[in-house]
Structure 1
Amino acid sequence: MKTVSVYLKHILEACEKVEMMVQDLDKEDFMDKDWITREAILRQLEIIGEAVKRIPNEFKLKYSEVSWKDISGMRDYLVHEYFAVNYEMAWETAISDIPKLKKKIVEIALKENIKISLIP
């Protein structure tokens, strides 16, 4: 059984990958042209949501300032409604929510004495 630290590391790694992918990407390319990067970003959002689902509820209650339910809901939406994904919402999540989530996960890891390494 994996520990919370493993899931937090998975979330952090996926956040970093999303940040790297959107760094030189504009909204128009995300929406219309660069479907490969768009699909890669969606996959990382799925990974984040799946990792969140596996974190024990007690831990989520301890850090209730994180929108755990919304994050896992995004995963469910991406997986089960794959044929009708709202790319506008995915873009906003990638550029606005992911940096905030990354910051929060780093703070939690520090509080929990979980060793993390950021992608250089």
Structure 2
Amino acid sequence: MQSNNRDIASVWDMTQAIQRIQSFTNCLTFDDYLNDIRTISAVERQFEVLGEASRRISNEFRQAHPAINWQRIIGLRNIVAHRYDEVRQDILWTIIHSELAPLRVQLEALLPPLPDES
């Protein structure tokens, strides 16, 4: 299956959102995270980006890569964006520390190699 530029751009956006979440939370404990509204806001925003980019990926591309739970990613974005009063930070924290790194690896494998700069 040939991927289109929009799919690749969306996968790139997803990897960047994950990288940002990881960098925002890298040196924090859960208590530090809970006491830092700026970090919470930044993390929630990047989860929105992650889900929105996932939503923009074509059905054909998603079907070609069923190991990624696209609907779950989109669903989490919908909760963060529309049911913000129901967001449980403990669940986001668990996702950050148990699911984002493997997802990032999966997504990066879908990106074409960067051109050689030699």
> What is the CA–CA distance in structure 1 between the aligned matches of 2:114 and 2:45, rounded to whole Å?
25
Corresponding residue of 1:20: 23
With normalisation by structure 2, the TM-score equals 0.88
Q: 1:48 to 1:63 in 2, by over 3 A?
A: same
**Alignment equivalent of 2:48, drawn from 46, 49, 59:** 46
Q: Does 1:100 align with 2:99?
A: no
- The 5 Å alignment of 1:1-120 reads 3-31=6-34, 33-109=35-111, 113=112, 115=114
- Structure 2: stretches of 5+ with no match in the other structure: none
- AA paired with 1:96? S
- Structure 1: stretches of 5+ with no match in the other structure: none
Deviations 1:4-45 (A, max 9, x none): 1110110011111111111111111112x1111111011101
Number of equivalenced pairs: 112
1:97 Cα deviation from its structure 2 partner: 1.3
Query: Which of structures 1 and 2 has the larger relative contact order (alpha carbons within 8 angstroms, sep 6+)?
Result: 1
With normalisation by structure 1, the TM-score equals 0.87
CA root-mean-square deviation: 1.7
> What is the CA–CA distance in structure 1 between the aligned matches of 2:61 and 2:114, rounded to whole Å?
17
Contact 1:22 1:95 in 2 (8 A): no
> What is the CA–CA distance in structure 2 between the aligned matches of 1:43 and 1:93, rounded to whole Å?
15
Identity %: 24
> What is the CA–CA distance in structure 1 between the aligned matches of 2:113 and 2:91, rounded to whole Å?
31
> What is the CA–CA distance in structure 2 between the aligned matches of 1:4 and 1:13, rounded to whole Å?
14
Structure 1 segments, 4+ long, off by >2 Å, are 113-116
Q: 1:3 to 1:115 in 2, by over 3 A?
A: farther
SS at match of 2:99: helix
1:114 Cα deviation from its structure 2 partner: 5.2
